[in-house]
Chains A and B, each alone.
Chain A
Amino acid sequence: MSILQVQNVYKTFTTESHEVPVLQDVNLSIEAESKCSILGPSGSGKTTLLGLCAGLDRSTSGSIYLNDHALHESSEDELAQIRNLEVGFVFQNFQLIPSLSALENVLVPLELRGESSKQARAKELLSRVGLGDRFDHFPVQLSGGEQQRVALARAFIHQPSILFADEPTGNLDGDTSGLVEELLFDLNKEAGTTLVLVTHNLDLARKTDHIYRIHQGAVEVLEKL
């Protein structure tokens, strides 16, 4: 069963003088609970595609369905609700809220659902990622790897249907990258979440079931390398 369907999607950025096509006639279908990665060089449109699939941006034309939600027809507030219900995120630069502690950062997605009494679950997840003794620490008091582990806990706390990870190890050193990768795949497996990984790290991409490559604005499916 397909959880994400991208049909004939175009995305064009308009500058003052001319239009720049980034994605052209993209078609994609991702099965539920699968793991896939999107590869491509810098500027190829990977992040743009991720933004569209996660309901962070709107396509110029075409349709995107996320777990039967028609993203292309939804309002901003509806998109926000869909993200809260269905989507988890892990970003290259962690994107933790600097004024919140590790525990509070993890709790935000639940609180946005009005479920503010699940501290135990948040603590459990933080312990799971090895930060059981850092609940009250603020992002500045954590290392890059630790911040990304908090981000992982936040991504899974509300049990999303799909997780988008944008270069999740791009800002980390080799050892830390390995640990974060391991946690990402383990947590994903435990939760049965669909994983969409955007990266240009071929080794990381190899760990997913399917690999898509963006080339000149179009998406092509690669056999597992």
Chain B
Amino acid sequence: MTESSNGPGWKWVTLMAWRDSRRSRVKMVLFVLSIVFGLAALVAIRGFRTNVEDAIQSQSKELLGADVEFNSRSPYSAEIESYIDGLGGERTDEIRLATMGLFESNGGSRLVSMRAFEDSFPYYGVPETRPEVSMEQFHAERYVLLEESLYHQFEVSVGDQVKLGQIYFEVLGIMDRIPGESKLTGWVAPRVYISKNHLESTGLMQFGSRVSYRSYLKLENSDTIDEQLENERRFFRENRVGVDTVEEEQRELINSFQQVTDLLNLIGFMALILGGVGVTSAVHVYLSGKMDTIAILRCLGTKSSLGISIFLVQVSGLGLIASFVGSLFGTAIQFFIPVFVADYLPFELEARFSILDFGIGLFFGWLVCFLFTLLPLVPLRKISPLRVLRTGVENPGAMKKDPWVYLIVATLAVALFGFGFAQTDNLNVNLGFSGGLLVVLGLLSLIAWLFLKGIKKLVPKGLPFAWRYGIANLYRPNNRSVLMLVALGLGFIIVLSLFLTKEAILKQIIVDRGGNSSNMILFDIQPHQLAYVEAVLEDNSLPIVEAAPLINMRISELNSRPVREFMRRGSEREGGGRDRDQRDEDEGPEGWALRREYRSTYRDHLTETETLIEGTFVGEASIEDEPIPVSIEEGLTEDLDVSLGDRLVFDIQGLALEVEIASIRKVDWNQVRANFFFVFPKGVLDDAPGIFMVATRTPDAETTGKVQAELMEVHPNVSSIDLRSILSTIDDILGKITWVVQFMALFTILAGLMVMAGTIITSRYQRIRESVLLRTLGAGSKTIKGILFIEFAAVGFLASLVGGFVSIAATWSLMRFLFKLPLVVAWDAVGIGMVTMMVLTTVTGLLNSRGITKQPPLEILRDEST
């Protein structure tokens, strides 16, 4: 279309679009604002992902601190030692073990994870400490660096003493970051760092200690190391040695972050689509008021395509504004993300502006917004000029039969899919997104619709006028109540579901179940130390809830086949790289179940956390009864692919013992006590080298600290877990994780509120007319305000009801199928959430209805008629 003497061109169309927008610009900008939040979320996530990937690429070697890392739960065999040495280069070793730390600052103690490393580590990068300390100084004397959480928990200052094993270490500061580890606190045992030079003097390296060994190599040429190690995967697996390279570390980190960003993207997409639907709805109502204008223009000689071009230019411009604002907002948020997620990352994250990410956001944002607005626009091309003579002629609402509408919907689907692909770089994830979104939105719409229907039937007829009228407004034509409920409910569901899930998990592991349940566990007790431990508990009037022997063992044969054979097959299956989507679907035992070290016990009874579900529990047997009848935990039968009657051979400190599965138990792992995969009968392992654990119940944290201190003084190797402090740590970690997701969900809530605001603004004229009519008939402004209040409160109530209902259902699904735990609903949180939702909705509704009752009816009608 060009400007010519025969007719107007784009210049005129643009001029008309500009002119037409003059009296409704604020309203129009509000329409498209609902798409801004979803887009901002997606741009922020994309920017975050780019920054993370850049950081991982640029700090690749610092991630590991070396070129290769080997790790094992037991000292390396001679073969492994020889292999590692054969790789050449420089080598440095680290020992990790769990032990008790006694903090002189306030006399408290806690199970800690001690890392003893050599002065040559790390080869790449430097440990970051507070205050900044010299590593030379650290390795020279008995110094300790603490994880920040310990620093705060025990009110530690630089120079304080911490007892680890038999000796005291002086606190040098906080270890903020060390290559290979995130700053996030350990769940059970926060980390402490000492020089390996002083490890031996702690006296902690003894039988029963839970030690792991790590070796780091700096190679002269690390280019081919991945290929080289890939060929030896079976060898390492058979020797139960883990290997990690820079490339693997990079890949794993990128994969992990992709999973996180995929989840966040899903939430962002929900907000975007929600906003898009809101835009469609608002623009539909807006354009309904433009039908006469189009008819007049057609009457004056405008071609149909030219008439809608005016509004096409308008919505296109609006889309550009929305996507620009959204992309700008998202880019700004991206700069704040590092502040919130720094603790989770094992590397420095620096936010950078990416013109590409901004451009992608701008383009797709515009396209999605444009297509959403195009939906209500295309039917307008069918408006007849005859409408100027007869209002209502040829209602163009028959979108269903319009092939252009189908084309736009298809283009919209392709655009969203394309945007999804640009965000995730993964076809399968993207397909899952699209399907999931459709299902979620469809289901939610259905539930909202059912609730609306239900409420209509349940509302008593004898309610006061304002109540009846306010509720009836929910069913007003073009009120878009279902859209409002979905838009408002969606964000609420995400936030509430996450909160409920977190609370439900915490409630499952809540320590204080009352009665005789334990809240403190002592372990790593040598047989000769057991009597002393029991005496300390007795002196402090503490009960022994449970005392169990623990014997370490590994599986060496399964149904007469050496475990190595299964592992070999597993290695072959895993060969050829680890693609993100690759799934091992082969039958057979799981590798981890074969490789792991089992801590088994023996007794002649089942405990209250166990239920026999198959076979016969044998309480006593003799070593001569080989194969020994043992009881196995239900879940492990699946992982080991075994059933009743199957036989295994255990390697117990070099001694082979054949056992037969005589019974299968269901174990309630949620109860805090010593639970086991394998339970042996008494009389078989009684003389085997083992250690003990004792569970007790302390009345308060003070008694717990006193017992810990007494035990540590005499037997520093005995470790204990105070379940109260673990609970607060878990609460803290879950809180941080859910916060990030909830933060993104906030955008969905904002998008929902904007959709609602847009819907209310577009129905403002209708509300005004009703209000004027009611006032003409004698209704006071108080009654009108009451009606509005009831209507918005009802929307809020229904949205929170729908949201609450779906949240509980979603939490139940997560608990049942993902965490395999029963549902415990935090009703107080549900109640607070619902009330907050109602207040937010009502306030948003009333704010957008201001002025309806303040001016004289005639004045409002004249003013609003455009």
Contact = CB atoms under 8 A, between A and B. Distances in A.
Interface of A: 47, 50-51, 56-57, 76-77, 80-85, 87, 89, 91, 95-100, 104, 108-109, 111-116, 138-140, 154, 166
26 contacts: A56-B384, A56-B386, A82-B301, A83-B301, A83-B385, A85-B301, A87-B301, A95-B388, A98-B865, A98-B866, A99-B22, A99-B23, A99-B866, A104-B19, A108-B297, A112-B7, A112-B8, A112-B12, A112-B297, A112-B300, A113-B5, A113-B8, A114-B8, A116-B12, A140-B865, A166-B389
B476 interface: no
Contacts of B866: 98-99, 138-140
B774 to A, nearest CB: 23
A113 B386 contact: no
B293 A77 contact: no
A69 B390 CA distance: 25
Contact of B299 (A56, A111, A115): A56
Interface of B: 3-9, 12, 15, 19-24, 292-293, 296-304, 384-386, 388-390, 862-863, 865-866
Contacts, number: 105
A91 B24 contact: no
B8 A91 contact: no
Contacts of A80: 298, 301-304, 385
B300 A83 contact: yes
Contacts of B24: 99
Nearest to B391: A93
Contacts of A97: 20, 293, 296-297
A115 B4 CA distance: 9
B304 A76 contact: yes
Given A47-B390, A51-B386, A111-B12, A99 B293 contact: yes
A115 B22 CA distance: 23
Nearest to B11: A116
B12 to A, nearest CB: 5
Given A57-B384, A83-B301, 20 more contacts: A47-B389, A47-B390, A50-B389, A56-B384, A76-B303, A76-B304, A80-B385, A89-B300, A89-B388, A91-B388, A95-B299, A99-B19, A100-B20, A109-B300, A111-B8, A112-B12, A112-B302, A138-B866, A139-B866, A140-B863
A196 to B, nearest CB: 13
A89 B385 CA distance: 12
A115 B5 CA distance: 7
Contacts of A166: 389
B8 A140 contact: no
A152 B122 CA distance: 88
Given A77-B304, A83-B299, A116-B12, A100 B19 contact: yes
Contacts of A104: 19
A99 B290 CA distance: 10
B19 A114 contact: no
A57 B386 contact: yes
Contacts of A56: 299, 384-386, 388-389
Nearest to B304: A76
A44 B573 CA distance: 86
Contacts of B298: 80
B535 to A, nearest CB: 91
Nearest to A166: B389
Given A114-B7, A138-B23, A108 B388 contact: no
A82 B866 CA distance: 29
Given A76-B304, A114-B8, A166-B389, A140 B299 contact: no
Contact of B5 (A50, A83, A114, A154): A114
Q: Max chain A CB contacts within 10 Å: which of B4, B15, B866?
A: B866
B389 A77 contact: no
B382 to A, nearest CB: 10
Contacts of B390: 47
Most buried by B among A91, A99, A166: A99
Nearest to B21: A99
B18 to A, nearest CB: 10
A51 B388 CA distance: 10
Contact of A140 (B4, B9, B301, B862): B862
Given A51-B389, A140-B865, A95 B301 contact: no
Contacts of B297: 97, 108, 112
A99 B28 CA distance: 14
A116 B10 CA distance: 13
A89 B297 CA distance: 12
Contacts of B386: 51, 56-57
Contacts of B863: 140
> 3 closest A-B pairs (Cβ-Cβ)?
A84-B301, A98-B866, A99-B20
B292 A95 contact: yes
A46 B432 CA distance: 60
A95 B23 contact: no
B300 A108 contact: yes
Nearest to B298: A80
B789 to A, nearest CB: 30
B809 to A, nearest CB: 44
A95 to B, nearest CB: 5
A204 to B, nearest CB: 18
A12 to B, nearest CB: 15
A113 B4 CA distance: 8
Contacts of A99: 19-24, 293, 866
Contacts of A95: 292, 296, 299, 388
A98 B303 CA distance: 20
A74 B21 CA distance: 33
Contacts of A85: 301
Q: Which of A51, A109, A139 has the most CB of B within 10 A?
A: A51
A122 to B, nearest CB: 14
Contacts of B23: 98-99, 138
A113 B7 contact: yes
A77 B300 contact: no
Nearest to B866: A98
B293 A98 contact: yes
B389 A91 contact: yes
A85 B5 CA distance: 12
